[in-house]
Amino acid sequence: MFGLSEFAIILIVVIAVIGMKKLPELTRSAGKAARILKAEARAAKDEEAGTAPAPRVVQGEIVPPGTGTTPPGARAAGAPDHP
């Protein structure tokens, strides 16, 4: 009566009709996953070839806790949002 191909087509149509709301979200997620996978594969390939860029080092300032000072550019704990 029904072959495998007909059953597959009917199943795809039913899933598309039922999952119409979720379809755009699923395709977005699949696209993000593909981009992440591509970036990770490229990074692994670069690392294997030895052409990976050097890690970027950001210098920081250590402030001992309880000194009552704030680092330059930071606001104090109780400071108002506008001057």
Where do the domains of the chain lie?
4-49
Share above pLDDT 90 across residues of the chain, in percent, rounded to a whole number = 22
Q: 17: closest CA among 9, 5, 7, 6? A: 9
Specify the higher pLDDT residue, 63 or 6.
Answer: 6
pLDDT beyond 80 at 30: yes
What does the mean pLDDT of the chain come to?
79
15 alpha carbon, distance to own chain's centre: 27
CA angle 79, 80, 83 (to 5 degrees): 105
Specify the higher pLDDT residue, 6 or 76.
Answer: 6
| pLDDT 10s digits, 33-61 | 999 999 999 988 888 877 666 777 888 87
Residue 30 phi/psi, 5-degree rounding, is -65, -40
**Amino acid, single-letter form, for residue 81:** D
Q: Is 68:62 a contact under the CB 8 Å cutoff?
A: no
